Structure 1
Amino acid sequence: MHAPPTHGSTLPPQQSAPQERVAAEPSGGSRSDGAWWIWALAAALFLAYAALSLRIHRRILSNSYDLGIFEQAIRSYAHGHLPVSELKAPDFPVLGDHFSPVLALVAPFYRLWPSAETLLVVQAALVAASVLPLAGWVRRTLGPAAAVVIGVGYGLSWGVASAVGFDFHEVAFAVPLLAYSLSALGSGRLRAAAFWALPLLLVKEDLGLTVAVIGLLIARSGDRRLGIVTAASGLAGTLLALLVVLPALNPDGSFAYWFWLDSPKGSDGGLAGLLYRGTVGLVTPEAKVSTLLLVLAPTLFLALRSPLLWVALPTLLWRFSSGNSVHWGTGYHYSLVLMPIVFAAFADALVRRRPSRASLHRYLAGSAAIGLLVLPQYPLWQLVKPDTWRTDPRVAVAHRLMDRIPDGATVQASTLLVPQLTDRTSVSLYGWPQSRPRPQWIVVDTWTPWYKRWPLTVQEEKASLDLARAQGYRTVADRDGFVLLNRPD
């Protein structure tokens, strides 16, 4: 990233430019004049996100990790208890895994509609709402054409698509908070920027470092006291969560980011491993560079010219220094929080360049072209595929078998069946060593494709089912690949 420019505010909208260099002037009148289409865009994105994630779930393609875990945690909140997840381990306290008390906000909705689908709809609403401040800010500073391109480009971006196409995650709460905070910061509304940033401390422990960077940008933009307080609050929040709260609540008293302690391939442990991660390890293997390039490509790399991009640094550092290769790529939800940051930085960079109208349109066309080129590679493209709207007859068979399991029973289920049972049973993952032993019921999809099969292989699963029968479980049903076993009382 380039070093931030040396002038005072993060984005000085008050400075005027010669008329011939201004791409678009802020519209006059009320701030809401002509902005109805931004709400329409947010509504359309909400419907797209919800449709995608609900179809995935109804086709029995959602996962125990992480949808099942989050539903169990929110179900605990909804019943007035601290969050636990049977999927992690019997009565495992989720606040000892990640510090995300913000999940309690979903509990009232879950109490009314106790289903995994409630989580997916809430996530769709949170992510869709994040387009409102971003598109509104761009419209006021760069005009409606830029607002359309950046708003749609952000809403359909690959990081957003990957997240809504893979279950539910707590970082969905971070997305609107970041969008509002960075839009305020870019417009010079520093108190609002701090106001929207500080709740990130309740979303996840690492986001305190993101708050700290926002605080430093606030201080650099003119309000030194507010910026220092915000930065100190963010840093203190992360340290408190990592060093006090999580070890105290974790049954093993372990450090929250255990995966960070694993040495990636090609590095040694100890000091040598730390040095490797902080230098060569940040850009190797090549998956890390590919991810970084794809993060910046929709902005034509102009985001590098904005100091707002520094807000992405904590997330990039922990991901690329992690010993878990899953964190390095473009899949799952790991790039979701980067999307509002990079598109806000893109808008800020365009304002700083003060391009002519023709130049602005070229930048926007380039950004849109890259977005369209990448879109078919990520889950939102499933919405235009006929298979997405077809339901395999096996789905009805699975539900008929699972309906035979009584409410409140203890169950072990294969990973794709778990989220279908988390709303009414005490379910854990079949074959997972930490699962509650000898449940009353076992339900397994033996036809699960190899790329969805976890944690057992086909051979291990068959041997495990044979062992369960030998230990007294009786076969209640065996149909179309679904096996339902019951332990007689």
Structure 2
Amino acid sequence: MAETRETAIPTQRREQSRRLAARAAEAVRAVDVDRLRELAPHLALAAVFLIGFSLDALLRYQRFGAPSWDLGIFTEEVKGYAHFGAPILSIKGPGFNALGDHWSPIVALLAPLWWLWPSSAMLLVVQAGLFAWSVGVVSDTAERLLGGRSKGLLIGVAYGLSWGLQRALDFEFHEIAFAVPLLAVIGRQLLLGRWDRAAWWAMPLVLVKEDLGLTVTAVGVVLMVMARRWAAGAVLVLFGFGCMALTMGALIPHFNPQHQYDYWSKLPDGGHPRLWHLLLAPFTRWTVWKTCGWLFGIVGFLALRSPLVLLALPTLAWRFGSANPMFWGTDWHYSATLMPILFLALVDVVARARRSRRPLLKGFAEGMVPASAAIAVACTVSLPVGLGGLADPGVWSGGPHAAALRAAVAAVPQGVRVESTTGPLSRLAARDDAYWLGGSKPVPPDYLVIDTAGWNGGPSDLPAYGAALHPGARYAVVFDRDQVSVLRRQ
């Protein structure tokens, strides 16, 4: 009998353990199902924006609507990583290493996708996915803090349609595509009081671009201001400053052909600015004031009441302090990283205003939730950029000129050295050793692809033009249609 009892006790304990494990598993499944139901509308919203962003980007790609050489540059960078080599940017010059231009090693994460889809279009879809991810993060965070699914979705729609993201879509892929969802997640963790998570999510920003080290520093300051987390905040401040100093002072010059950081020259006074000039000059520029109006106006200027707006200050400082007017305005992709900060700051202020004793502030803050979506829709309709541009029937078909460009690209063999104008450059960079027109001086290219549409006084004798670009080389026209020509070296 004693032996029977001794053997029965472990059996009972094992049975109890199995029951407890089963109950725990059921509880976890129940929590997962409930959380998935909560996330479903925000995932659906992110999926809608993914489709819209991808459609806009791919239509532009199909009609060769490249506004610059940047997509070709990033195509060469990803191709270099995918081939287990250095990220050489032939478009910028023979042997030019991407790490000597901007510090963006995070782009190497796209190498496995290149093995599956070796095309510039892949980069555009990835950027659309990263932006759409941030839409879901902002939308779900807004619901958590404000309560009510509709409020979260309205904020998500307003953010997804924000002009900063739309401008970035118009100017194709850039490394800041990785920073946008990272900043959305950082803002979410700060608003939910998950201080350690916010710190960990901030650290990868230093791999996106060298100036984002200052944004990491700003996250440390926000941790001190919002949570009195002095140790974690001090670590982030030192980490952000240290990484920025290391990349600008040592790493980028190491890979740069001239062993320097090229963008110091963008500062006033030729890279040696006087402090008073650096601080006061932005306030004298009307373009800067207009940009601030566009940035803070889309959230009713309420973001200025949130500590989260400190995260935007580093980006605004280098842009407005620069001597390059291109950084001051609302064009290009420079405002995309500010959008998640501003909209999550709006969420923060609306949540705080509910505890305010001032009914005017409380009413205005609550009204900005639907108003922000209305403002975003109005901007999308009135500005022919991003998703707003889809209303133009011309974007759905590139017409005969796009067909001529596709035929010209097909006329160039794979694996050759080719120089090209901006339009077809990214497609050629995906399969050839591609250079911007006139950029391969040491060794004349095998082919020239020239799109003269929009040129004022373009060359009438293309072979002579090719010979002038590369003295000693002779070229013959092998394709000519609708102002698009392909020249082959004889």
Q: TM-score, normalised on structure 1?
A: 0.87
Task: Please give the alpha-carbon distance, in whole angstroms, between the structure 2 residues aligned to 1:286 and 1:463.
Answer: 45
Task: Please give the alpha-carbon distance, in whole angstroms, between the structure 2 residues aligned to 1:245 and 1:67.
Answer: 24
Matched, 1:199 2:204: yes
Q: Is the 8 A contact 1:476 1:486 kept in 2?
A: yes
> For 1:17-36, what aligned pairs fall within 5 Å after superposition?
30-36=34-40
Match of 2:113 in 1: 109
- Secondary structure of 2:298's counterpart equals helix
Task: Please give the alpha-carbon distance, in whole angstroms, between the structure 1 residues aligned to 2:257 and 2:467.
Answer: 32
Residue identity in the other structure for 2:464: D
Match of 2:402 in 1: 395
How has the CA–CA distance of structure 1 residues 270 and 73 changed in structure 2, closer, same or farther, with 3 Å as cutoff? closer
Task: Please give the alpha-carbon distance, in whole angstroms, between the structure 2 residues aligned to 1:158 and 1:70.
Answer: 23
Task: Please give the alpha-carbon distance, in whole angstroms, between the structure 1 residues aligned to 2:197 and 2:459.
Answer: 54
Higher relative CO (Cα under 8 Å, sequence separation at least 6) belongs to 1
> For 1:358-377, what aligned pairs fall within 5 Å after superposition?
360-375=365-380, 376-377=382-383
Residue identity in the other structure for 2:82: A
Match of 1:276 in 2: 277
Task: Please give the alpha-carbon distance, in whole angstroms, between the structure 2 residues aligned to 1:300 and 1:136.
Answer: 21
Unaligned segments of structure 2, at least 5 residues: 1-32
Match of 1:486 in 2: 488
Match of 1:21 in 2: none
Task: Please give the alpha-carbon distance, in whole angstroms, between the structure 2 residues aligned to 1:45 and 1:94.
Answer: 30
Matched, 1:76 2:83: no
Q: Is the 8 A contact 2:319 2:327 kept in 1?
A: yes
1:87 Cα deviation (Å)? Answer: 0.6
Task: Please give the alpha-carbon distance, in whole angstroms, between the structure 1 residues aligned to 2:113 and 2:272.
Answer: 46
Q: Is the 8 A contact 1:401 1:477 kept in 2?
A: yes
Aligned residues: 445
Residue identity in the other structure for 2:474: G
Q: Is the 8 A contact 2:416 2:433 kept in 1?
A: yes
1:435 Cα deviation (Å)? Answer: 5.7
**Please, which moves more after superposition, 228-237 or 458-467?**
458-467
Task: Please give the alpha-carbon distance, in whole angstroms, between the structure 1 residues aligned to 2:215 and 2:266.
Answer: 18
Match of 1:380 in 2: 387
Residue identity in the other structure for 1:297: G
Deviations 1:31-87 (A, max 9, x none): 544331100000001111110111001101125521000000000000001211101
- Secondary structure of 1:443's counterpart equals strand
Larger radius of gyration: 2
1:233 Cα deviation (Å)? Answer: 0.8
How has the CA–CA distance of structure 1 residues 461 and 224 changed in structure 2, closer, same or farther, with 3 Å as cutoff? farther
**Please, which moves more after superposition, 240-249 or 396-405?**
396-405
Task: Please give the alpha-carbon distance, in whole angstroms, between the structure 2 residues aligned to 1:163 and 1:271.
Answer: 30
Task: Please give the alpha-carbon distance, in whole angstroms, between the structure 1 residues aligned to 2:273 and 2:206.
Answer: 30
Deviations 1:283-308 (A, max 9, x none): 23211111111010111000000010
Task: Please give the alpha-carbon distance, in whole angstroms, between the structure 1 residues aligned to 2:158 and 2:234.
Answer: 33
How has the CA–CA distance of structure 1 residues 269 and 81 changed in structure 2, closer, same or farther, with 3 Å as cutoff? closer
Q: Is the 8 A contact 1:473 1:487 kept in 2?
A: yes
Q: Is the 8 A contact 1:302 1:349 kept in 2?
A: yes
Match of 1:187 among 170, 186, 192: 192
Residue identity in the other structure for 2:424: L
Match of 1:228 among 229, 234, 249: 234
Residue identity in the other structure for 1:231: V
Match of 1:308 in 2: 308
Match of 2:464 in 1: 466
Task: Please give the alpha-carbon distance, in whole angstroms, between the structure 2 residues aligned to 1:222 and 1:32.
Answer: 33
- Secondary structure of 2:44's counterpart equals helix
1:391 Cα deviation (Å)? Answer: 2.9
1:380 Cα deviation (Å)? Answer: 1.7
- Secondary structure of 1:35's counterpart equals helix
Task: Please give the alpha-carbon distance, in whole angstroms, between the structure 2 residues aligned to 1:50 and 1:270.
Answer: 42
Match of 2:51 among 47, 60, 82: 47
The structure in which a higher percent of residues are helix is 2
Residue identity in the other structure for 1:441: Y
Task: Please give the alpha-carbon distance, in whole angstroms, between the structure 2 residues aligned to 1:136 and 1:436.
Answer: 54
Identity rate, percent:
37
- Secondary structure of 1:130's counterpart equals helix
Task: Please give the alpha-carbon distance, in whole angstroms, between the structure 1 residues aligned to 2:279 and 2:143.
Answer: 39
1:406 Cα deviation (Å)? Answer: 1.2
Match of 1:130 among 127, 130, 134: 134
- Secondary structure of 2:431's counterpart equals coil
Match of 2:253 in 1: 247
The alignment yields a C-alpha RMSD, in angstroms, of: 2.1
Q: Is the 8 A contact 2:267 2:321 kept in 1?
A: no
Task: Please give the alpha-carbon distance, in whole angstroms, between the structure 1 residues aligned to 2:135 and 2:399.
Answer: 34
Residue identity in the other structure for 2:342: V
Unaligned segments of structure 1, at least 5 residues: 1-28, 451-457
Residue identity in the other structure for 1:422: A
Deviations 1:371-426 (A, max 9, x none): 22222313220122211112312222222222121111101111112112111111
Task: Please give the alpha-carbon distance, in whole angstroms, between the structure 2 residues aligned to 1:484 and 1:314.
Answer: 45
Task: Please give the alpha-carbon distance, in whole angstroms, between the structure 1 residues aligned to 2:37 and 2:405.
Answer: 51
How has the CA–CA distance of structure 1 residues 462 and 193 changed in structure 2, closer, same or farther, with 3 Å as cutoff? farther
Q: Is the 8 A contact 1:76 1:83 kept in 2?
A: yes
Task: Please give the alpha-carbon distance, in whole angstroms, between the structure 2 residues aligned to 1:260 and 1:424.
Answer: 33
Q: Is the 8 A contact 2:459 2:465 kept in 1?
A: no
1:148 Cα deviation (Å)? Answer: 1.4
Match of 2:155 in 1: 150
Q: TM-score, normalised on structure 2?
A: 0.86
- Secondary structure of 2:418's counterpart equals strand
1:276 Cα deviation (Å)? Answer: 1.6
